Amino acid sequence: MESTLITVGLPVSLAIIMFSLGLGLTVADFTRIATAPKAFVTGFVAQVFLLPIIAVGLLALTDLPPHLAFGVMILSFCPGGATTNLLSRFARADVALSVTLTAVVSLLSVVTVPLLIGFSSGHFLDLGDRPINISSLAISLFLITTVPVVLGMLVRRFAPKFTIRSEPWFFRASAGIFVVVLVGALSSNWGLFLENVAILGPILVAFNVVLLALFWFLSRGLGLGGAQAATIAIEGGVQNATLGITVASMIAGAAMPDYALPSAVYGITMYVVTLPAIFLLMRQPKPVALPA
């Protein structure tokens, strides 16, 4: 029962999350790249290229077992979480940039995640005669990420009234399903979780802090405004933990493998780190209304 809950519930929850993301997207969210190319390119490069490099550098300073190190790499390949747009709103950051980055990087993850996993798996793991089926992983990701996003965009385009009413409910439903699945996964692997949380916790917290700080200062150093820098830091620091757990489960063919533990732990610690960072350091001044 618990295995079915995880193996079925995780993909379903991820698909609903991606569908709710699609409900909030329009074609303008993609064409906006042309209006602010510097901010988009900075955020895109930070997420897709710099983030995995930072993960490799951090892992080089630790002695994590190979299976947990590979799990950290899986997490680093994942796009920003579905809540980054909400967190950017809390930070009074550039929400439009956040939406565009989330959309583009999430859609491209169907290509980038399998390729990066295939490239890194041989370095961290001894796969023997059981190599990862990259094609199968890409197809599965396409079905549970890209297809729901496109369907959500089509619903928004042809049923706008339904979209306005249903978008908040789909977001809450996906969050609720993920919580139920995560609790079920942790409860069924509680011993394994307790054995590794003390090891993973400090590393993942440090990872989160480094990402937020580096991407913030990188963006500011390139001349971007505080709102754009906050968005890029949040997009890079808050990963789609649901996708990380799902991908790990697909690779291992098990409900909650060791590879998934870093994503499961990070799904909790990233908010513990990011929320204080937003409210203490990155929150932008409230716009002052000009007199009429």
For 48-66, the pLDDT digits (tens) are 999 999 999 999 998 888 8
Does the pLDDT value for residue 26 go beyond 70? yes
| Owner of token pair 């971007």 | 224
Grade residue 40 by pLDDT with cuts at 50, 70 and 90.
very high
As to burial, measured by CB atoms within 10 angstroms (0-12 exposed, 13-18 middle, 19+ buried), residue 158 is exposed
Residue 102 above 90 pLDDT? Answer: no
% of the chain beyond a pLDDT of 90: 24
- What is the pLDDT confidence band of residue 292, given thresholds at 50, 70 and 90? very low
- Band the pLDDT of 182: cuts 50, 70, 90: low
Q: Report whether pLDDT(144) > 80.
A: yes
pLDDT at 129: 47
Q: Do 261 and 69 touch, CB atoms closer than 8 A?
A: no
C-alpha dist (Å) from residue 178 to 15, 81, 87, 186, 264: 11, 13, 18, 12, 11
Q: Average pLDDT for residues 126-140, to the nearest whole number?
A: 70
Domains of the chain: 2-282 (1.20.1530.20)
pTM exceeds 0.85 for this model: no
